[in-house]
Amino acid sequence: MKLTMASSPHNHSLKSVNKLMICVMLACIPGILVQSYFFGIGVFIQLALALTTVSLAEAAMIKLRSRPVWPTLSDGSAWLTGVLIAVSVPPLAPWWVVVIGACFAIVIVKQLYGGLGFNLFNPAMAAYVLLLISFPVQMTAWLPVQSLLNTPITLFDQIALIFTEATYSGLSLEQARQVIDGATGATPLDHVKTATGQSLTVQEAMDNNAFTRFAGEGWQWVNLAYLLGGLYLLKAKVINWHIPVAMIASLAVCSLFGYLLGGQAGVAFHLLSGATMIGAFFIATDPVSASTTNKGRLIYGALIGLLVYLIRQFGGYPDAVAFSVLLLNMAVPLIDHYTQPRTYGHGAKK
Amino acid sequence: MSEYKTLAHEGLWKNNAALVQLLGLCPLLAVTSTVTNALGLGIATLLVLVGSNVTVSIVRNWVPKDIRIPVFVMIIAAFVTIIQLLMNAYTFGLYQSLGIFIPLIVTNCAIIGRAEAYASKNTPILSAWDGVMMGLGFAAVLVILGAMRELIGQGTLFDGAELLLGEWATALRIEVINFDSQFLVAILPPGAFLGLGLIIAAKNYFDERQKAQTQPTAPAEKAERARVTSLT
């Protein structure tokens, strides 16, 4: 028998990878429920597809690498990746979109880099970006919230849309997502981006029936639900406060300046639309690909917030959480290098 | 004779310009979106490589060491100009679709690398053979990568082959899979990086397997260390 002694401190948080991942997935539940309330049952179908695919892909890759399958698979990290991919694709996207994304995330981004703990990039976000640049049409086909739809899409039609790309009565997704005034439903971020591109002011753009409150019907509640889940994660000490607080604060400061100086969309709009909250609490905080020092986490989060604002405001895409997270993943080794905390008793300032 | 064999093995596999030396990545990544483009650029590079290798080898005894690089570049540029004019005349469609990457063959490090490393030290015939093998190795990787990207990206092979080979080649176009929507990432530059990485991985895999087959050595016994410290 081999007894090993690690160096101090000897206390242990009693949290295994498995427990942490389960905790994060539980915290996603309010967000997923709200999302499916507003955008239909498609979210659950995408979840089932993504979870099946990641399990198969992970098991196949571990088998290829001659590692024990069940212990690695059951740490849950692949399932969390699957959940994040499933909630970030449009609920009625064709089934192969989420399957391709999940395979790419697990096979290329995670396992080819060496598996959990060695991936440079956040697998879910790398997969999302792959899908977004590969299938721009399918990946931007977000539904307007159900209450704004011309004809409500039934459960049966949603399943048909995902698997056959047409409803039972033969409508394509493009036709099914028409809203009452005949315009195609777009996400609030998308809408504001297009409208300001046509030299309307932000106020005019938001003066639309899709914008009943701060950030567009539906989306604000989805974001608030993810915020709730995120607060639970903070309370359970699964994540540190540094990254989400830094990211939200920097996005808020940037959008405040934009609002005061440039008449752009306000703070609440930026914080409660798109992927802000799920990004801040669930995606940017990925323990593998994020910065590992406390000072570094603050810098990492703040730069993500800044990039999200810059890309949303000046870039070509309506939302930017995935791009920002990937760009900052690349910067993490540098950030970590310059923010190493001082070892106790060494290198004190003179 | 064995010299020729070694050169062939080096150029096609062991020291492949694209897979091992990782030279000429810019055209490799930029133009391999279809088989046709890849084949066109591969042939152009092959011809330039052979021509420049022979010429460099012929003049190697008269070129002063100090200014050899500019001289080599001028020789290569002359051949590239010839190829460019020929392509402009005979394969105009391909000339347009390859665009800037034809003149950029001048800057392909694989060519100047062979001129410097081999042709400037060896006889013209050996140099020509080296150019052929290196060029074939490079072209083969281009074509494989082009085929992968075209197949995954749009589900076809030899799309637009008539630009390179003339009207009859329209029949070469194979529609392997019919996609409603293209898999854009394979056609965009990231797909080239991913594809090249996978091809290099495959080559390493074959090498490892061959090594394991030829020398089935028993794994060296690891010294059991009492205490393992890793302070690096």
Q: Does A227 touch chain B (CB under 8 A)?
A: no
Task: Measure the CA–CA gap between B101 and B33, rounded to whole angstroms.
Answer: 13
Predicted local confidence at residue B56, as pLDDT: 93
Contact B185 A138 (CB under 8 A): no
Predicted local confidence at residue A17, as pLDDT: 84
Nearest CA in chain B to A127: B185
Task: Measure the CA–CA gap between A174 and A184, rounded to whole angstroms.
Answer: 8
Beta bridge partners of A265: none
Mean pLDDT of chain B: 84
Could you give the C-alpha distances from B46 to A319, B43, B49, in angstroms and in order? 45, 5, 5
Measured between beta carbons, which residues in chain A are less than 8 angstroms from residue B182? 134
The alpha helices in B20-119, defined as continuous H runs, are: 25-30, 35-58, 68-90, 92-98, 109-117
**pTM exceeds 0.90:** no
With beta carbons less than 8 A apart as the criterion, state whether A246 and A300 touch: yes
Shortest distance between the Cα of B11 and any Cα of chain A, in A, equals: 28
Closest CA to A75 of A139, A30, A22, A126: A22
Beta bridge partners of B137: none
Contact B181 A135 (CB under 8 A): yes
Question: pLDDT tens for residues A164-206?
Answer: 777 777 677 766 666 555 455 567 777 777 777 676 666 666 6
Shortest distance between the Cα of B67 and any Cα of chain A, in A, equals: 41
Helices (H) and strands (E) in chain B, counts: 10, 2
Measured between beta carbons, which residues in chain B are less than 8 angstroms from residue A130? 185, 190
Q: Which two tokens stand for residue A329?
A: 């993943």
pLDDT higher than 60, residue A211: no
Task: Measure the CA–CA gap between A164 and A95, rounded to whole angstroms.
Answer: 9
Among the partner residues A108, A133, A136, nearest to B194 by beta-carbon distance: A108
CA angle in degrees (0–180, nearest 5) for A295-A299-A300: 110
Predicted local confidence at residue A208, as pLDDT: 59
Substitution target from B149, B177, B184 for chain A, most A beta carbons within 10 A: B184
Nearest CA in chain A to B183: A134
pLDDT higher than 80, residue A56: yes
Cβ contacts of A297 within 8 Å, gap of 6 or more: A240, A242, A243, A246, A290, A291
Predicted local confidence at residue B128, as pLDDT: 92
Could you give the C-alpha distances from B80 to A176, B1, B105, B117, in angstroms and in order? 55, 31, 7, 20
Q: Which residues 141-170 on chain A approach chain B with CB closer than 8 angstroms?
A: 165
Contact A133 B188 (CB under 8 A): yes
With beta carbons less than 8 A apart as the criterion, state whether A138 and A97 touch: yes
Nearest CA in chain A to B195: A108
Question: pLDDT tens for residues A234-267?
Answer: 998 888 999 999 999 999 999 998 888 876 777 8
Q: Which residues 37-96 on chain B approach chain A with CB closer than 8 angstroms?
A: none
Q: Does A260 touch chain B (CB under 8 A)?
A: no
Contact A137 B181 (CB under 8 A): yes
Q: Does A138 touch chain B (CB under 8 A)?
A: yes
CA angle in degrees (0–180, nearest 5) for B71-B125-B2: 125
Task: Measure the CA–CA gap between B113 and B129, rounded to whole angstroms.
Answer: 15
Task: Measure the CA–CA gap between A339 and A90, rounded to whole angstroms.
Answer: 38
With beta carbons less than 8 A apart as the criterion, state whether A51 and A83 touch: yes
Mean local confidence (pLDDT), A274-303: 91
In this prediction, the residues of chain B whose per-residue pLDDT falls under 70 are 1, 216-232
Query: Domain limits of chain B?
Result: 3-212
Tell me the helix, strand and coil percentages in chain A, rounded to 5.
Answer: 60, 0, 35
Closest CA to A48 of A92, A83, A73: A83
Predicted local confidence at residue A149, as pLDDT: 65
* CA atoms A153, A155, A161, A166: torsion sign: negative
Could you give the C-alpha distances from A239 to A24, A230, B148, B224, in angstroms and in order? 9, 9, 41, 40
Mean local confidence (pLDDT), A326-342: 91
With beta carbons less than 8 A apart as the criterion, state whether A85 and A50 touch: yes
Measured between beta carbons, which residues in chain B are less than 8 angstroms from residue A133? 184-185, 188, 190
Task: Measure the CA–CA gap between A272 and A212, rounded to whole angstroms.
Answer: 13
Query: Domain limits of chain A?
Result: 187-337
Measured between beta carbons, which residues in chain B are less than 8 angstroms from residue A134? 182-186
Substitution target from A97, A134, A330 for chain B, most B beta carbons within 10 A: A134
Q: What is the DSSP letter of A290?
A: S
Closest CA to A313 of A265, A271, A279: A265
A-B C-beta contacts closer than 8 Å: 20
